[in-house]
Amino acid sequence: MPYPEGHREQVRDKIIDSARRLFNKNGFEGVSVDAIMAHAGLTRGGFYSYFSSKSELYGEVMRCFFTDPDWPHRWEGVHFDHRSDAGPQVVRAYLSKGHFDDVENSCPLIALPNDVARADETVKAAFETVFRAMIALIGRDIKSKRAREKAAMAIAALCIGGMVVSRSVNSPELGEQLRKAAMKAALELGGWAA
């Protein structure tokens, strides 16, 4: 009996979601193909009919986050209005308490920079693609046209770095202060109200 229409896409999405959660939680190197497939409720044997390698899967995980307008994973309390400026909304969402708390659903740009730096070209290209998408999205709404690209790069780096450092300290109070300071600085850099 053949699989129903859309089955292949559903399984592929299930593998991507499993990988995203595990990569965020354990890092790229800390997750095996076996673990990804088991977490998805699938057997390892099917993996290679969807992806040629774990690196290719990582690339797909990265692409989904900023480049897929229908990506279902959003943070509690964060709402995005496509009719108004995206830049300040991205900063507020990225540096939100909801994003801070939801490690499994967080942006892979936060969890994996060290792994990416040691990874192969495929993984680095995926990271760069998503980072560039983030820069482009933020840059659309920066008030100063002269310094738009540099400011967008700095804001994106501040968002990612702010979350990395906020999550890396022991003190919850310091982490919260860092997250809020990064948000304020990023909004000011973009020319948006803090």
d(CA 110, CA 152): 17
Q: What is the mean pLDDT of residues 67-95?
A: 68
**Percent of the chain residues past pLDDT 70, beyond the cut:** 87
pLDDT grade for 161, boundaries at 50, 70 and 90: very high
Contacts of 16 (CB under 8 A, 6+ apart): 57, 60, 61, 64
136 DSSP 8-state letter: H
Q: What is the DSSP string of 39-68?
A: HTT--GGGGGGT-SSHHHHHHHHHHHHHH-
The number of angstroms, rounded, from the C-alpha of 45 to the middle of its chain's C-alpha atoms is: 28
pLDDT in tens, 36-77: 999 999 988 889 999 999 888 887 887 655 555 555 555 555
pLDDT in tens, 120-141: 888 888 888 888 888 988 888 8
Judged against a pLDDT cut of 70, whether residue 174 lies above it is answered with yes
The label of the residue with tokens 């997250």 reads 179
Task: Measure Cα distances from 10 to 3, 50, 70, 85 in Å.
Answer: 11, 11, 14, 33
Structure confidence at residue 154 (pLDDT): 95
d(CA 58, CA 124): 10
d(CA 136, CA 143): 14
pLDDT grade for 186, boundaries at 50, 70 and 90: very high
d(CA 160, CA 172): 18
Q: Which domains does the chain have, with CATH numbers?
A: 7-190 (1.10.357.10)
Q: What is the mean pLDDT of residues 67-88?
A: 62
Structure confidence at residue 1 (pLDDT): 65
d(CA 123, CA 68): 18
The label of the residue with tokens 């995980």 reads 61
